[in-house]
Structure 1
Amino acid sequence: MIDVYIDGASAGDPGPSGAGVFINYKNGQVENHAIPLGTMSNHEAEYEALIIALDICVERDLKMVSFRTDSKLIDDAIEKRYVKNKRFQLYLEKALTRIDQFDLFFLKWIPSNQNKNADSLARQAIRKNK
């Protein structure tokens, strides 16, 4: 199973934002993605990071993935398939549509200190914003 670490970050709320995606294929191969997102809130950046990572996995035809996030917001929304804040409803729907394409999908919350690769990538992406 492929491990995918995700993080979204913003310099301000809202502010310049970025998504970090670190994919570990567990065969010595890894992928690093630092994607600038423009101006948005930190929570929006977290959702964008999730959707970008899901899209990457779908494009690569990966069928069994295990995602890791340090965002309780993302973890709770995916686990419950529900968001309280309607502002995030469209993000959740996009994510669930993609998740349903996998044969096996896991998402696990991890502490920030275990998500350093994705966090570093998200911070790099913030600096790439013009």
Structure 2
Amino acid sequence: MGEPTVEIYTDGACSGNPGPGGWGAVLRYGKHERELHGGDPGPTTNNRMELMAAIQALETLTRPSVVHLYTDSSYVRNGVLKWVATWKRNGWRTAAKTAVKNEDLWRRLDTAAQRHDIEWHWVKGHAGHPENERADRLAVLGVKEAAKMPPVPRKLVPTPQSALPLNEPAKADYRPDDTECVHEMPASWCALCKPLPPGVLPRGYRVAGDAYHNDPDCDWLRKGQRYAARLGKQTHEVVPIAWASVAPGELEPCEACCTVEWIRRHSR
């Protein structure tokens, strides 16, 4: 008798990011279904809750299984399929020699996943996918429950000096006054998510060079493609989404070529 085939649908949510968070999962084995949810009073992040949803679902399985896991988190799917193996070889360090964010949960997910034969699927969030919507509702329920709990104190832990490049000052892992971006770092530190200079539009355009648009959920790229087509522009003037093939932070955003002036010149 072969291993059972299980379908898992997961989602995470966070109020404030960082703030109280919740996770939800729907497990299906044949005609049997089970719903799971939980919360963290935080402060936590959306990415941690996405990871926790997958962890809790996999840890619930009592024996090795063939698993189809569906998540709307590119962070989770890309992490498992592209980054974890490198992180492990590097002693849980990124290519930039910095500590992996959420290392505790990535280690736990890696351990849980090794017991199973898993195929990781990405689904677009909030797009009407029935099971993804169910997982989302469960995650939101977890947030509501977590919001009623007392917050967990978070100690500021500076990055060890030995892990930093020479002459770079230590930074705290968590700053309550700095919003955490989708790449699990304060937005002001992230080259892809830092606030754009005045007059710079959302990224997505280029005329030449190697600058990529790095946000698969941003409508600006699709709008730019349609707009360029209406103007009779060539497709090479618009950059395809490159998120699936790169790790966060490895490419700088294209800012100079995405200005109002570029749009003005190409609108003639």
Are 1:36 and 2:39 matched, yes or no?
A: yes
- How big is the alpha-carbon RMSD for the aligned residues of Structure 1 and Structure 2? 1.6
Contact 1:81 1:92 in 2 (8 A): no
1:67-86 correspondence runs (5 A): 67-82=69-84, 84=94, 86=100
Aligned residues: 126
- Segments of 5+ residues of structure 2 without an aligned counterpart are 88-93, 149-268
- For residue 90 of structure 1, what is the aligned residue in structure 2? 104
Report the Cα distance in structure 2 between the residues aligned to 1:73 and 1:36, rounded to whole angstroms: 20
Report the Cα distance in structure 2 between the residues aligned to 1:55 and 1:63, rounded to whole angstroms: 11
Report the Cα distance in structure 2 between the residues aligned to 1:63 and 1:86, rounded to whole angstroms: 28
Report the Cα distance in structure 1 between the residues aligned to 2:79 and 2:16, rounded to whole angstroms: 23
Q: What is the one-letter code of the residue matched to 1:37?
A: D
Contact 2:64 2:115 in 1 (8 A): no
Bigger strand share: 1
Deviations 1:23-58 (A, max 9, x none): 11132x21111211221011111111111111112x
- Segments of 5+ residues of structure 1 without an aligned counterpart are none
Q: TM-score, normalised by structure 1?
A: 0.88
Are 1:26 and 2:40 matched, yes or no?
A: no
Contact 1:6 1:49 in 2 (8 A): yes
Report the Cα distance in structure 2 between the residues aligned to 1:26 and 1:38, rounded to whole angstroms: 34
- For residue 123 of structure 1, what is the aligned residue in structure 2? 140
Q: What is the one-letter code of the residue matched to 2:17?
A: D
Report the Cα distance in structure 2 between the residues aligned to 1:37 and 1:56, rounded to whole angstroms: 18
Report the Cα distance in structure 2 between the residues aligned to 1:99 and 1:62, rounded to whole angstroms: 10
- How far off its partner does 1:62 sit? 4.6
Report the Cα distance in structure 2 between the residues aligned to 1:38 and 1:50, rounded to whole angstroms: 19
Helix, strand or coil at the partner of 1:87: coil
Report the Cα distance in structure 1 between the residues aligned to 2:22 and 2:51, rounded to whole angstroms: 11
Contact 2:70 2:120 in 1 (8 A): yes
Q: What is the one-letter code of the residue matched to 1:26?
A: G
- For residue 16 of structure 1, what is the aligned residue in structure 2? 20
Contact 1:4 1:24 in 2 (8 A): yes
Segments of 4+ in structure 1 off by > 2 A?
81-85
Q: What is the one-letter code of the residue matched to 1:69?
A: T
Which residue of 46, 52, 65 corresponds with 2:67?
65
